[in-house]
Amino acid sequence: MKKIIILSMILWGVALSSLSAAKEYMIVGARPDKLFVIDIKARKVEKTFTIPDSTAPQNIVISPDGKIAYVITNHLRSIVGIDLTSGDVVFRADLDYKDDERTWNYGIDISSNGSELYSYDIPTKIHLDRYESLEPRLSVFKTDGGLEAAPVREFPMPRRIHMLMTAKSGALYAMGWDFYKVDVQTGDVQVAYPLRNWTQKNLSQPDALAFWPSWDNNGIFSTPIVYVRTDMAEDNMERFRTGLLSLDLDTEKFELTDFQSAPEILFSSVFHPDRKTAYAAYNTLIKIDLENPHTAKRIDLDHTYYQTDISADGKEVYVGGTACDVAIYSTKDLSRLGEVILPDCPDMGATVIRMIQK
């Protein structure tokens, strides 16, 4: 295990140094129809794009070349591809493309070569006088599908998935009741890491609802996860535990790091690129020591933030979502370094943060 971690660190180290010449940008959305490109080190919004026919941007996926942002909007019902240089709409899939269906997206990612988008769709058939909830499916779109894109492949999927992520190898992972590995050619779904029926000794079924892609600058998916130690006395508050569940998108290894009891709600987390610390937020921002798992520092935030992210150099941790500001803290001691207020203070709601280099 240790060996793999070191190996992956080296790999990412190489990737990062090759990028260090590029400039770093943060991409966020806001209600009803805005997409912002932020020069984060300059604390400045560099570009503001308007997404046509949009209500509430949420998830965002960036093409591997960093040129196009695919935004989930319209209350989970549309995927809109925006060219990050010109702001042009280069792709659009309204998921209600089938007659009489209402379809929500609950997870999206892009293939590692940038040619295909994977959308986890939950459809409902709208009859004249009743609704019929259908089984969810994976819809695969070609990224060159144009402005009325329709899926080229569809596969049935388990229910209640809330996040998709593509590993470096091209394998697709889906987090839901369990963590699944999905074959995007055949639709085959295998449990890659059990959660609902997990095999962790003396631990209850965990609860984790992750929506936040925080792997852009560290190559690792992570999320706070809570569970109960069933071997501890009922009146011992220490039995309520918080861990970080992570999937290394390079090695495809899962890890669970138990680091504290459950004194606070945490919505999202991000690993430091050096993988020695991680950060998690909601009403508080905490710094987690991963080498000797414990909470090394905790501060109160000025309001609730959903997503946590980090700069490529590992010096700054970012929190965003819920309001119109991104707050910036030092990864070293969680001291406040600054903030970016979005122009006209639009509501970021549940939009995600993505980090790109260009």
Partner 1 sequence: MTPSNISETEMLVGNTLLSDNCSGCHMASDDGSFSRISHMRKTPEGWDMNIARMMIFHGLEIEPQDRRALVKFLSDTQGLAPAETAAHRDILERKHNTIEQDVDPDLAAMCARCHTYARVALQRRDKAEWQNLVHMHLGQWASIEYQMLSRERDWRADALGPVSEKLGQMYPLKTAVWADWQATEWKDMSGEWRIVGHYPGKGDMEGTMKVTSLGGDNYQTEFTLHFVGQTLVGKGKSIVHSGFEWRGTATFPDEKVRQIWAASTDGNSMTGSFFNKDHFEESMVITAWRKTSENGIMGIVPSAVKVGVETEVVISGVNLSGDVTIEGAKVTVTSATADRIVAQVKADGTTEGDVKLSVGKDVSIQTIYAQVDYLKVTPEYGISRVGGGGGPIPKVKAQFEAVGYSFGPDSVAGTDDDVRLGMLQVTWAVDNYSEASAEMQDAKYAGYITAQGTFIPEVAGPNPDRKYGTNNAGDLKVIATYTDGARILTAEAHLIATVQRWNNPPIM
- The one-letter amino acid code at 166 reads T
Residues 161-180 vs partner 1: string with x where CB under 8 A?
Answer: -x--------------x---
Q: Which residues, other chains included, contact 167 with Cβ-Cβ below 8 Å and sequence gap of 6+?
A: 112, 173, 247, 249, 250, 252
Residue 122 site contact among ligand HEC, partner 1, none (CB < 5 to 8 Å, cut-off depends on kind):
partner 1
Category of 139 on φ-ψ map: left (φ > 0), alpha (ψ -120 to 50) or beta: beta
User: Per rule CB under 8 A, is residue 159 in the interface with partner 1?
Assistant: yes
d(C-alpha 158, C-alpha 211), whole Å: 17
Residue 159 site contact among ligand HEC, partner 1, none (CB < 5 to 8 Å, cut-off depends on kind):
partner 1
Best CA proximity match to 325, nearest among 343, 337, 340, 344: 340
Dihedral of CA atoms 24, 29, 33, 39 in degrees, nearest 10, equals -30
Residue 124 site contact among partner 1, ligand HEC, none (CB < 5 to 8 Å, cut-off depends on kind):
partner 1
Residues 79-138 binding ligand HEC (CB under 6 A) are: 129-131
Q: Among residues 126 and 192, whose Cβ is nearest to partner 1?
A: 126
Residues 271-290 vs partner 1: string with x where CB under 8 A?
Answer: ------------x-------
Q: Among residues 2 and 130, whose Cβ is nearest to ligand HEC?
A: 130
**The 3-state secondary structure of 134-159, one letter per residue:** CCCEEEEEECCCHHHCCCCEEEECCC
Q: How many CB atoms lie within 10 A of CB 70?
A: 24
Binding-residue total with ligand HEC (CB under 6 A): 3
Beta strands in 137-231 (DSSP E): 137-142, 153-156, 163-166, 172-175, 179-182, 189-193, 220-228
Q: Among residues 97 and 131, whose Cβ is nearest to ligand HEC?
A: 131
Residue 180 site contact among ligand HEC, partner 1, none (CB < 5 to 8 Å, cut-off depends on kind):
none
Q: Among residues 126 and 299, whose Cβ is nearest to ligand HEC?
A: 126
Q: What tokens appear for 326 in the block?
A: 């991104």
Q: Among residues 76 and 310, whose Cβ is nearest to partner 1?
A: 76
Between CA 329 and CA 333, with CA 331 as vertex, the angle to 5 degrees is 85
Task: Provide, rounded to whole angstroms, the least separation between the CB of residue 129 and ligand HEC.
Answer: 5
Residue 41: strand, helix, or coil = coil
Per the DSSP assignment, residues forming a β-bridge with 258 are 243
Task: Provide, rounded to whole angstroms, the least separation between the CB of residue 115 and partner 1.
Answer: 28
Beta strands in 17-73 (DSSP E): 24-30, 34-39, 44-50, 60-62, 68-73
User: Per rule CB under 8 A, is residue 102 in the interface with partner 1?
Assistant: yes
Cis omega before residue 156 (within 30°)?
no
> Site for partner 1 (CB under 8 A): which residue of 46, 88, 183, 302?
302
Residue 207 site contact among partner 1, ligand HEC, none (CB < 5 to 8 Å, cut-off depends on kind):
partner 1
Per CB under 8 A, the segment of 24-32, 203-211, 269-277, 287-295 that binds partner 1 is 203-211
Per CB under 8 A, the segment of 87-95, 154-162, 270-278, 291-299 that binds partner 1 is 154-162
Residue 302 site contact among ligand HEC, partner 1, none (CB < 5 to 8 Å, cut-off depends on kind):
partner 1
> Site for partner 1 (CB under 8 A): which residue of 56, 122, 167, 220?
122
Please say whether the beta carbons of 224 and 211 come within 8 A. Answer: no
Per the DSSP assignment, residues forming a β-bridge with 103 are 123
Q: Among residues 72 and 312, whose Cβ is nearest to partner 1?
A: 72
Residue 241: strand, helix, or coil = strand
Residues that bind partner 1 (CB under 8 A): 75-76, 102, 104, 106, 122, 124, 126, 128-133, 159-160, 162, 177, 196, 205, 207, 209, 283, 300-303
Residues that bind ligand HEC (CB under 6 A): 129-131
